C-alpha cells in the first residue's frame, strides 16, 4: 500500500481561508493560524491552491513567477514556516502546479510576444489566423496581439496564454522548477488541467449552438503526446524521490484513459480528478443549465469508476473544490430542516468509496451556496464573462443569474466561516467577496465538540478510513442499482464486509436489516428504516 491510499486531502483556497493582515484577502498567515483546524479534522495532506505571484485575473491560476509567493499571500520565508508547521503536525503539503498556461505577465510571455524571432516565441502557440475555438471562459480562445499581428491561444482567460509543450527547452524549465519545490520540502503536486497540455492539430471544431464559436476539445483534451509528457515529467522530477502525491486534474478524461494515467507501472500520475459525476446535473446548455440529479445516474457513474479503477489505477473522490458549487446545496438539501443531515449523508456516501477523498474548505462545516442577489455580487472571471456573453446573445438577465447562483464558482469562494464574529471571523475588514449571511449559525466554532455536527461527522469518517483497511482498500460492489432514493453498496476485504446505506431523499424508506452499526449520521437508528437523509455503515451479516 502507498501512503496516500488511506489518506484524506484537505484543499485550502488561500484567498478565502483566513486573513491575518487585515486586507480582506486570505493569506499564508491565516492558514498558519488555522492549521489545528485541519489537523483536528484528521486530514493527512493539504493541497494549497496557487500562492505564486499573479495578476490574480483567475485568482492565482494565472502565474507570473513560478518560484515565489505573491505579496498578497505573504513571502517565501512565511511559506517555509507554513511547510515546517504542516510537517510538525505530521501532515504533508501538495502545491498546485499550473503549467498548461502562464499569466500574460510572466517574463516568458512578455519575451515571446516581443517579436516573431524571439527565442521564446515557440514557448507559446502563435498563429497568423485563429481557429473557431471557444475559450472555457467565453469568447474566442485566440487573442490578436498587435505587436506582431499574430494570434495566441488561451484556452482560459486572455491573460492565460497556453504554453507550447512541444518545446523541449520549456519542458526542462518546468521540470527544473518542480524539482526546486520538491527540494524545498513539498510533498507533491495537484496538476491543473494537465490533460490539456498536448495540443494536436489546431483545426476548427464542430460549431457550438447559440454561439459563433466551435468546440476545439478534440484537438487538446488528452492530446497525442500527453502520456509521453507525463512519463518524461515522472522520470525528470519524481523518480528516485520518496513517494509523493501527484494528482492530475483532467476535465473530459474517459475511464479508459484514466486507467492509463494512473497505472503505477506506467509512471504518470497517482490519481486523476475526473468530472463525470459533477456534470450529471448539467443540461444541453452546459454548466449553467442545471437540473436536479438523478440518483441512478450518480450510481452508474461512480460505480463504473469504482469498477474501472479496481484492478489498476486509483480514484480520487470529491464533491467539492474551488470550481464547484457547494454539495449540500447541489445534491443535498440546504433547507434548515435537512442541511446537517444531507451534508453528513453525502459525506458518508463519498468517504466510504474506494479512493482518496478530498475535502474542500468549509465542506466539513456544511457550508452552502451563497444567496447572490445580483451580478455585482460575483467576482469570478468565468461567471462575469459568461454573464456578458450570454446577455449579448439575447439571454435574459434573470435566467443567467439563476444559472450563476446554481453553478457559479464563487459559491465555493465565499470566506471560510470560522465563528459568529463580524465577517465570520475570516477578517477584521469586509472581505474581497461577501460572506454568506448564514455564518451566524453555520461556523466552525459552533460545531467543534458537538457530537452531531457536520465537522464531528467528518472527523469520524476520516478516522474510520485510518482504522479499517476495508474502507481504504476493500472491493466495491454496488447494491440496489435501480433505486432512486437509497444509495447502497458493499465493501469487502478478506472476511471484513461493510454495508453502506444512504437515504438520498427527504422521506423515510424501509431497508433490510444489517449487522452491527459501525457509524451513522444520526442518533438512535432504527432497524429496517432509514430516516430522511440518514446514512449508516454496518458490518454485513
61 binds ligand GLC (CB under 6 A): yes
Own/partner long-range contacts of 293-301 (Cβ < 8 Å, ≥24 apart): 293/330, 293/331, 294/484, 295/483, 295/484, 295/485, 295/487, 295/504, 296/481, 296/482, 296/483, 296/484, 298/331, 298/487, 299/478, 299/481, 299/487, 300/481, 301/276, 301/277
* Minimum CB–partner distance for residue 109 and ligand GLC (Å): 15
Q: Which of residues 228-257 bind ligand GLC (CB under 6 A)?
A: 249
- How far apart are CB 124 and ligand GLC at their closest, in Å? 15
| Dihedral sign (CA 35, 38, 42, 46) | negative
Distance CA 407, CA 279 (A): 11
96, 249, 270, 377: which is the annotated catalytic residue?
A: 249
* Least separation in angstroms between CB 60 and ligand GLC: 9
Q: Which of 19, 27, 104, 192 is catalytic?
A: 192
What x-and-dash track marks residues 73-102 binding ligand GLC by CB under 6 A?
Answer: -------------------------x----
Do 466 and 525 form a contact (C-beta atoms < 8 A)? no
519 binds ligand GLC (CB under 6 A): no
386 touches 400 (CB < 8 A): yes
Nearest residue (CB) to ligand GLC, 277 versus 322: 322
Residues 438-457 that bind ligand GLC (CB under 6 A): none
**Cβ 321 to ligand GLC shortest distance, Å:** 7
Buried b (16+ CB within 10 A) or exposed e, 285-300: eebbebeeeebeebbb
Closer residue to ligand GLC, CB minimum distance, 196 or 530? 196
Closest separation in Å from C-beta 322 to ligand GLC: 6
Identify which of 246, 244, 243, 268 has the alpha carbon closest to the alpha carbon of residue 257.
268
Footprint of ligand GLC on residues 173-192 (CB under 6 A)? 192
Q: Which residue is nearest to ligand GLC (CB)?
A: 61
Closest CB 138 distance from ligand GLC, rounded Å:
13
| Grid cell at residue 331 | 445534491
Rounded to 10°, the helix 255-262/226-233 angle is 20
Residue whose CB is less far from ligand GLC, 16 or 20: 16
For the question of residue 143 being annotated catalytic, the response is no
- For the bound state, the minimum distance from the C-beta of residue 304 to ligand GLC, rounded and expressed in Å, comes to 23
Options 323, 333, 334, 377; binder of ligand GLC; rule CB under 6 A: 323
For the question of residue 249 being annotated catalytic, the response is yes
Query: Residue written as cell 472571471?
Result: 381
Closest to ligand GLC by CB, 158 vs 322, is 322
Q: Does 58 bind ligand GLC (CB under 6 A)?
A: yes
- Contact of 80 with 72, CB cutoff 8 Å: no
Among residues 247 and 468, whose Cβ is nearest to ligand GLC? 247
β-pair partners for 12? 48
Q: Where are the alpha helices (DSSP H) in 354-493?
A: 381-392, 397-407, 444-447, 454-467, 469-473
Q: Which of residues 127-166 bind ligand GLC (CB under 6 A)?
A: 156
Q: DSSP H helical segments within 409-507, as ranges?
A: 444-447, 454-467, 469-473
Is 191 or 464 the residue whose CB approaches ligand GLC more closely? Answer: 191
For residue 382, the minimal CB distance to ligand GLC (Å) is 7
Rounded Cα distance, 121 and 144, in Å: 15
Q: How many residues bind ligand GLC (CB under 6 A)?
A: 9
Length of the chain, in residues:
541
Pick from 63, 174, 193, 367 the residue near ligand GLC by CB under 6 A.
193
**Which is nearer to ligand GLC, 142 or 156 (by Cβ)?**
156
Distances (CA, A) of 229 to 181, 267, 371: 19, 11, 43
Which residue in 264, 132, 231, 242 sits closest to 187, CA to CA?
242
Nearer to ligand GLC among residue 412 and residue 444 (C-beta) = 412
| Residue numbers annotated as active site | 192, 249
What are the residues binding ligand GLC (CB under 6 A)? 58, 61, 98, 156, 192-193, 249, 322-323
Amino acid at each position: 500500500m502507498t501512503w496516500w491510499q488511506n489518506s484524506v486531502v484537505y484543499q485550502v483556497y488561500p484567498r478565502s481561508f483566513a486573513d491575518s493582515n487585515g486586507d480582506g484577502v486570505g493569506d499564508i498567515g491565516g492558514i498558519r493560524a488555522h492549521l489545528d483546524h485541519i489537523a483536528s479534522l484528521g486530514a493527512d495532506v493539504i493541497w494549497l491552491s496557487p500562492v505564486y505571484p499573479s495578476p490574480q485575473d483567475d485568482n492565482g491560476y494565472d502565474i507570473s513567477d513560478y518560484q515565489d509567493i505573491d505579496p498578497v499571500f505573504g513571502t517565501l520565508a512565511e511559506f517555509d514556516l507554513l511547510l515546517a508547521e504542516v510537517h510538525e503536525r505530521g501532515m504533508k503539503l501538495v502545491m498546485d502546479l499550473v503549467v498548461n498556461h502562464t499569466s500574460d505577465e510572466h517574463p516568458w510571455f512578455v519575451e515571446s510576444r516581443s517579436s516573431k524571432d524571439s527565442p521564446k516565441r515557440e514557448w507559446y502557440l502563435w498563429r497568423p489566423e485563429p481557429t473557431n475555438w471557444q475559450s472555457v471562459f467565453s469568447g474566442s480562445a485566440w487573442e490578436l496581439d498587435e505587436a506582431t499581428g499574430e494570434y495566441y491561444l488561451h484556452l482560459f482567460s486572455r491573460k492565460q496564454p497556453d504554453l507550447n509543450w512541444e518545446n523541449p527547452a520549456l519542458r526542462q524549465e518546468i521540470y527544473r522548477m518542480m524539482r526546486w519545490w520538491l527540494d524545498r520540502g513539498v510533498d507533491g503536486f495537484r496538476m491543473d488541467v494537465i490533460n490539456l497540455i498536448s495540443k494536436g492539430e489546431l483545426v476548427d471544431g464542430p460549431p457550438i449552438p447559440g454561439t459563433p464559436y466551435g468546440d476545439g476539445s478534440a484537438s487538446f483534451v488528452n492530446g497525442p503526446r500527453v502520456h509521453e509528457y507525463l512519463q518524461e515529467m515522472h522520470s525528470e522530477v519524481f523518480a528516485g524521490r520518496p513517494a509523493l502525491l501527484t494528482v492530475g486534474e483532467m476535465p473530459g478524461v474517459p475511464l479508459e484513459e484514466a486507467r492509463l494515467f494512473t497505472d503505477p507501472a506506467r509512471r504518470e500520475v497517482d490519481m486523476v480528478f475526473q468530472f463525470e459525476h459533477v456534470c450529471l446535473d448539467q443540461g444541453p446548455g452546459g454548466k449553467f443549465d442545471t437540473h436536479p440529479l438523478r440518483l441512478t445516474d450518480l450510481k452508474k457513474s461512480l460505480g463504473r469508476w469504482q469498477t474501472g479503477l479496481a484492478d489498476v489505477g486509483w480514484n480520487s473522490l470529491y464533491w467539492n473544490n474551488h470550481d464547484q458549487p457547494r454539495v449540500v446545496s447541489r445534491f443535498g438539501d440546504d433547507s434548515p430542516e435537512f442541511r446537517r443531515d444531507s451534508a453528513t449523508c453525502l459525506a458518508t456516501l463519498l468517504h466510504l468509496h474506494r479512493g482518496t477523498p478530498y475535502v474542500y474548505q468549509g465542506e466539513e462545516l456544511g457550508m452552502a451556496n451563497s444567496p447572490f442577489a445580483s451580478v455585482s455580487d460575483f467576482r469570478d472571471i468565468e461567471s462575469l464573462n459568461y454573464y456578458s456573453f450570454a446577455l449579448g446573445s439575447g439571454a435574459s438577465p434573470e435566467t443567467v443569474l439563476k444559472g450563476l447562483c446554481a453553478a457559479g464558482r464563487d459559491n465555493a469562494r465565499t470566506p471560510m466561516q470560522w465563528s459568529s464574529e463580524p465577517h465570520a471571523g475570516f477578517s477584521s475588514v469586509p472581505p474581497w467577496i461577501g460572506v454568506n449571511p448564514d455564518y451566524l449559525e453555520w461556523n466552525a466554532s459552533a460545531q467543534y465538540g458537538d457530537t452531531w455536527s457536520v465537522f464531528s461527522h467528518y472527523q469520524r469518517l476520516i478516522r474510520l478510513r485510518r482504522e479499517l483497511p476495508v474502507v481504504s482498500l476493500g472491493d466495491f460492489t454496488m447494491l440496489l442499482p435501480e433505486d432512486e432514493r437509497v444509495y447502497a453498496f458493499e465493501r469487502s476485504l478478506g472476511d471484513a464486509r461493510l454495508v453502506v446505506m444512504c437515504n438520498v431523499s427527504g422521506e423515510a424508506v424501509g431497508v433490510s436489516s444489517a449487522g452491527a452499526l459501525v457509524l451513522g449520521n444520526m442518533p438512535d437508528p432504527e432497524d429496517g428504516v432509514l430516516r430522511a437523509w440518514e446514512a449508516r455503515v454496518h458490518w454485513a451479516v
